[in-house]
A and B are shown apart, each in its own frame.
Chain A
Amino acid sequence: MSVAEILEGCAAEVTRDARAATEAQRPILRERGQREVFCGLTGIIWLHRKMQDAFFLVVGSRTCAHLLQSAAGVMIFAEPRFATAIMEERDLAGMVDAQDELDRVVNRLLERRPDIKTLFLVGSCPSEVIKLDLAKAAQRLGAVHMPRVRILNYSGSGIETTFTQGEDACLAALVPVMPALPANAPKELLIVGSLPDIVEDQFLRLFAQLGIDRIGVLPARNARDLPSVGANTRYLLAQPFLGETAMALEGRGARRIEAMFPFGAEGTSDWLRAAAREFGIDAAHVEQVIAPARARASRALANLRPQLEGKRITFLPDSQLEVPLARFLQDELGMELVEVGTPYLHRAHLARELDRFGPNVRLSEGQHVERQLDRVRADRPDITVCGLGLANPLEGEGLTTKWAIELVFSPIHGFDQAADLAELFARPLRRRDMLEV
């Protein structure tokens, strides 16, 4: 059954994607309305843990501060390396100069936290609306505090960024300050996208075994140890939400290695093979290197397959991880994709993933949450992947859900996490069957 048949009013929304050069045939449901998603500020919750010498100062409102403490139940963090400079009436009414106020707050912060080496001034909805120039502030404050502290800025505002796009904006802000790779330097690999440390180490070991030893990671664990970039950089995206960062890297001469994203045994193999091919590594050697971990992943997935095979799944838009994760669940666990919603669909980066989707997968971009929930109620999938605001209400209606945010906060990339990833989807289903209350 097509969307148009299920619900009146949707037919007009199904449009042919004009931008798609590669597969002009797949219809996309584009929607506009209430979005039940986080803004880009939320990325700070993992970025501040990833970059251990960086501090994130949101220039925003009480709402921003409240979001950050509520979003992930983050009162669990004893020592967050983030804070909010809350704008007050005086700042808006012009009674004080907002730039002076910002200087005062930053100076106080840097005095109290001498361990900070990189400070991100993070724009928010209110700071963008009043056009508070954070680039100018970063430049001015940088002149005072360099070389001890590098000061950068990006916007994580909800009017411009959705959830993981905050990481994209942050990494894009780092690209201009990456050292230049000399024109005559040998080819280097750059892995782009923040990964849990344990996963990053697994990948680095694999690349070393493959024989790629000139390798950098963005973001680096220390924001001051940025990798170099230049015309001989070949970058490999580890996350599917890094459009702006990719453009900035291209702007510095780097070229993207086309690959699937490293989820599941297939995705991870494709990702590693693509890099190896680019570096001219013998294919037989590649297979030999990846074989043990790949076999391990396949064995572990085989255990979970019976629980997931044939189960129907809907993704509501959240992190832009939806498309590659859906591909993994379809290809490696035999799940049936009902609707795959994503806040933003990057056609070029996801081309290889989209190729794998069956013809009946409903692909939607953007959100009108009420209409989307109507579709979920009509489809009644076995499991719905959604944000924290929707999960309990859907459970209350008898629909099994998976919190999308866990997919962003758990190690799910690579061979040795493939079964953990599958388990995140299997557990709610198993629990539903276990409970007799």
Chain B
Amino acid sequence: MQLAVWTYEGPPHVGAMRVATAMEKLHYVLHAPQGDTYADLLFTMIERRGKRPPVTYTTFEARDLGKDTAQIFQDAAREAVARFNPQAIIVGASCTAELIQDDPAGLSEAMNLPCPVIPLELPSYQRKENWGAAETFYQIVRQLADKSVVREPREGRKARANILGPTALGFRHRDDLVEIRKILALLDVEVNLVAPLGATPEDIGRIGAADFNIVLYPEIGDEASRWLERTFAQPAVRTVPIGVGATRSFIADVAELAGADPTPALGDTSSRMPWWSRSVDSTYLTSKRVFIFGDATHAVAAARIAREELGFEVCGLGCYSREFAREVRAEAARCGVEALITDDHLAVEDAIAAAAPELVLGTQMERHIAKRFGIPCAVISAPVHVQDFPARHSPQMGFEGANVIFDTWVHPLVMGLEEHLLTMFREDFEFSDEAGASHHAAHSPRKATPAPAETAPRELETVGAAQAATVAEATERNAEMAQALWTEEAERELKKIPFFVRGKARRNTEAYATAEGIAPISLETLYDAKAHYAR
């Protein structure tokens, strides 16, 4: 048993729902008890879809157990097919139905339904949402792909690509797709099929007609793409075009497979991020410490952008999907940090507290963690909440995606000159570092009084609202317990440093003092340490 308050991923049948909801004319008959319909609201409320997910839940009750749950499944399947007239259905069980072992696959096979039935085996007690989505998409492709539809000779026609991976409830999938289509148009590549998003089961039949596949979201599309590689000898582009550099590599990869000239796509004049980053007022971004956590694809992409395109220092990197841990470990090695592979948000919270970053890039969970610590945060990966399904076009991929990322990541920070002024005139009662960045609409002065220095054990799920102090303050409190470390004078000087860097200053100084065998820390030690760590 695993003790959890929040989970990064839902159960695997929610992954299957993301695929079914993304597609058209496909229906999902899910053997499930009352209550599992909560998953509908992920799509209707969080993603704000105006349509119900195409899912029929069998809704069995305790009194049905051991009697006629199999019959209930068959009735529901028959009714769903009659009512919705889908081109194909997928059938499966949620966690509870898995335990009663009714075998939806066998039951639906025996029914002679008038459309293809794709059975799903999604082990709820071992696997999670992204795996469920990948497996569902793979099964759909495997069963519906028409093996007689293969690509025609290239002469006299444009190159054709399948775009694989976008689903419902995906982080910015809708907008990424627009950017990818733009790039392909500039490269004169035709889109044979986008799947799952917007595809019908009949569309899947002609998946073999493409010259190659573009795997936008490996968490969802990779398994299917490997099967397509084996079955139709379709090569795949696996570069995920998040960030300017990655977009350039993506363009080069696609151009190579398509035999196209990459120049028009590479010369896209809407790519502003490189200049925004080089412009002099971005200098203050240099070596900002950033902690990154999310799904593997977005976390790795964010780390590269942070290092290479914004000049940040990555002080922590991790992901919640074990399936893609290798990629994250490799990127973490390049950043000089140890990868954090966990689906326990408490472990992530501890890691963030220990790393004392100046910016957190993460999911909805990290947004909450960062809020409790008072650290600026931007969201880069699912799971996200309703505010991260914006009305406006807001991609992550392509050059426009990089523009969006620049704005989104920089916005939460206190701007360079303001940062200087805050450092210079720390004791101004109105212009306080604790009020937050002045370009943020809503901010209120923080209480200057530190939280009570009680030693109660940390609460299970959080450091708690009562302790909703900044990391800096939390670190200070620990230090108060070992007050003898600092002279009063040095302690006063430390407080003149703005709170968003104070924690780091304290840590560095203490590390320096320990290494040098200095105690207590005096004013001199503080400035010696500053000189030592000067960058």
- Residues of A47-66 whose CB lies within 8 A of B: 59, 61-63, 65-66
Count of chain B residues with Cβ under 8 Å from any Cβ of A? 67
A79, B6: Cβ atoms under 8 Å? no
Among candidates A105, A158, A389, A390, residue contacting B33 with C-beta atoms closer than 8 Å: A158
Contact B52 A390 (CB under 8 A): yes
Q: Which 8 residue pairs of A and B lie closest in terms of their CB atoms, listed nearest first?
A: A39-B35, A158-B35, A396-B50, A389-B40, A125-B96, A388-B41, A61-B95, A66-B10
B123 at the interface (CB under 8 A from A): yes
> Would you call B94 an interface residue if the criterion is a C-beta within 8 Å of the partner chain's C-beta atoms?
yes
- Once A88-B125, A101-B1 are accepted as A-B contacts, the answer to whether A112 and B62 lie under 8 Å apart by CB is no
Do the beta carbons of B99 and A92 come within 8 Å of each other? yes
> Are A35 and B34 interface neighbours, CB within 8 A?
yes
A370 touching B83 in the complex, CB below 8 Å, given contacts A61-B125, A87-B125, A159-B34:
yes
Of A59, A73, A388, most buried by chain B (CB within 10 Å of CB) is A388
Q: Which residue of B has the minimal Cβ distance to A60?
A: B95
Bound CA span A393–B60, Å: 24
Does residue A411 face the partner (Cβ distance < 8 Å to B)? no
List 17 extra interface pairs beyond A62-B124, A85-B3, A108-B3, CB under 8 A.
A33-B59, A39-B34, A61-B95, A66-B11, A70-B46, A75-B365, A78-B368, A78-B464, A78-B465, A88-B1, A89-B123, A101-B1, A102-B1, A105-B1, A129-B96, A389-B41, A390-B44
> Is B456 a contact of A34 with CB atoms below 8 Å?
no
Residue B191 lies at the interface, judged by CB distance under 8 Å to chain A: no
Q: What does the 1/0 interface line of A390-428 toward B look like (CB < 8 Å)?
A: 111101100000000000000000000000000000000
Q: Is A38 an interface residue (CB 8 A)?
A: yes
Tell me the residues in window 1-43 of chain B with beta carbons closer than 8 Å to chain A beta carbons.
1-7, 9-11, 13-14, 33-42
A128: CB under 8 A from chain B?
yes
Question: Which residues of B does A touch, CB under 8 Å?
Answer: 1-7, 9-11, 13-14, 33-42, 44-46, 48-52, 56-62, 65, 76, 79, 83, 94-96, 99-100, 123-126, 128, 364-365, 368, 372, 385-386, 456-462, 464-465, 468
Given contacts A39-B34, A129-B99, A129-B100, contact A83 B461 (CB under 8 A): yes
In the complex the two chains form, what is the Cα distance from A101 to B1 in whole Å? 6
Residue A162 CB within 8 A of the other chain: yes
A233 part of interface (Cβ distance < 8 Å): no
A130 at the interface (CB under 8 A from B): yes
The docked-state distance in angstroms from the alpha carbon of A59 to that of B3 is 9
In contact, A61 and B1 (Cβ under 8 angstroms):
no
Interface on chain A toward B: helix, strand, loop, or mixed SS? helix
A247 to chain B, nearest CB (A): 18
Give, as a whole number of angstroms, the nearest-CB distance from B312 to chain A: 26
A180 within 8 A of B: no
**Is there a chain B Cβ closer than 8 Å to A306's Cβ?**
no
When distances are taken between beta carbons in the complex, the residues of chain A under 8 Å from B465 are 78-79
A and B contact pairs by CB, cutoff 8 A, 29 listed: A33-B59, A34-B56, A34-B59, A38-B35, A61-B95, A61-B96, A62-B11, A65-B4, A65-B5, A70-B10, A70-B41, A73-B46, A75-B364, A79-B464, A79-B465, A86-B4, A88-B1, A125-B35, A125-B95, A129-B96, A129-B100, A158-B33, A159-B34, A389-B37, A389-B45, A390-B52, A391-B44, A392-B44, A392-B48
List residues of chain A with CB within 8 A of the CB of B76.
Answer: 33-34
Complex alpha-carbon distance, A414 and B99, angstroms: 45
Q: Cβ of A298 < 8 Å from any Cβ of B? A: no
Residues in B whose Cβ lies below 8 Å from that of A389: 37-38, 40-41, 44-45, 52
Tell me which residues across on chain A come within 8 A of B45, comparing CB atoms.
73, 388-389, 391-392
A69's nearest neighbour on chain B, judged by CB, is: B6
Contact string, A79-110, partner B, CB cutoff 8 A, digits 1/0?
11011111111011000001001101100110
| Cross-chain contact A159 with B62 (CB below 8 angstroms) | yes
For A66, A70, A159, the residue with the greatest tally of chain B CB atoms inside 10 Å of its CB is: A66
- CB closest residue in chain B, given A98: B1
Contact A37 B35 (CB under 8 A): yes
Distance (Å) between the CB of B108 and the closest chain A CB? 17
- The contact of B1 among A34, A87, A387, by CB within 8 Å, is A87
Shortest distance from the beta carbon of B69 to any chain A beta carbon, whole Å: 10
Taking the closest CB of chain A, its distance from the CB of B368, in whole angstroms, is: 6
Q: Bound complex: CA of A73 vs CA of B41, how far in Å?
A: 10
Q: Chain A: which residue is nearest B60 at the CB level?
A: A159
Q: Which residues of the partner chain A approach B38 to less than 8 Å between Cβ atoms? A: 38-39, 42, 66-67, 70-71, 389
CB pair B4–A83 under 8 Å, yes or no, is: yes
Distance in Å from the Cβ of A287 to the closest Cβ of chain B?
A: 45
A37 to B36, CA, bound (A): 9
Chain A positions within 8 Å of B35 at CB level: 37-42, 67, 125, 157-158, 162
B18 vs chain A, min Cβ distance (A): 13
Indicate whether A113 reaches chain B with its CB closer than 8 angstroms.
Answer: yes
B37: chain A residues within 8 A (beta carbon): 34-38, 389
A392 to B364, CA, bound (A): 23
| Whole-angstrom distance between the Cβ of B203 and the nearest chain A Cβ | 24
Query: Min CB distance, B286 to chain A, in Å?
Result: 33
Instruction: Take A62-B10, A87-B125, A396-B50 as given contacts and tell me if A105 and B3 are in contact as well, using a CB distance cutoff of 8 Å.
Output: yes
Tell me if A92 and B100 are in contact (CB < 8 A).
no
Q: Which residue of B lies closest to A130 (CB)?
A: B99
Task: Assess whether A126 is interfacial by the CB under 8 Å rule.
Answer: yes
Q: How far is the CA of A429 from the CA of B277 in the complex (A)?
A: 48
Complex-state Cα separation, A88 to B4, whole angstroms: 12
**CB of A160 closer than 8 Å to a CB of B:** yes
Task: Output the least CB separation between B31 and chain A (Å).
Answer: 12
Contact, CB under 8 Å: A83 / B5: yes
Residue in B9, B39, B456 with the greatest tally of chain A CB atoms within 10 Å: B39
A114 interfacial by beta-carbon distance below 8 Å: yes
B34 near A63 (CB under 8 angstroms)?
no
Which residues of chain B are within 8 angstroms of A395 by Cβ–Cβ distance? 50
Q: Which residues of A contact B46 (CB under 8 A)?
A: 70, 73
A199 vs chain B, min Cβ distance (A): 24
Q: How far, in whole Å, are A239 and B267 apart by their CA atoms in the complex? A: 66
A318 shortest CB reach to chain B, Å: 12
Q: A73-B385, A158-B33, A388-B45 are in contact. Are A84 and B4 (CB under 8 A)?
A: yes
Cβ of A172 to closest chain B Cβ, rounded Å = 16
Partner of A66, one of B14, B48, B60, B125: B14
With A35-B59, A388-B41, A392-B49 as given contacts, are A83 and B460 in contact (CB-CB < 8 Å)?
A: yes
Complex contacts, A37 vs chain B, CB 8 Å = 34-35, 37
Closest partner residue, chain A, to B49 (CB atom): A392
User: What is the CA–CA distance of A102 and B56 in the complex, to the nearest angstrom?
Assistant: 33
Closest B-chain residue to A71, C-beta based? B38
Determine if B1 and A62 form an interchain contact, defined as CB atoms under 8 angstroms apart: no
A residues 103-142 with Cβ under 8 Å of B?
Answer: 104-105, 108-109, 111-114, 125-126, 128-130
- CB proximity of A37 to chain B, nearest CB, Å: 6
Shortest distance from the beta carbon of A427 to any chain B beta carbon, whole Å: 18
Note all chain B residues with C-beta closer than 8 A to A160.
61-62
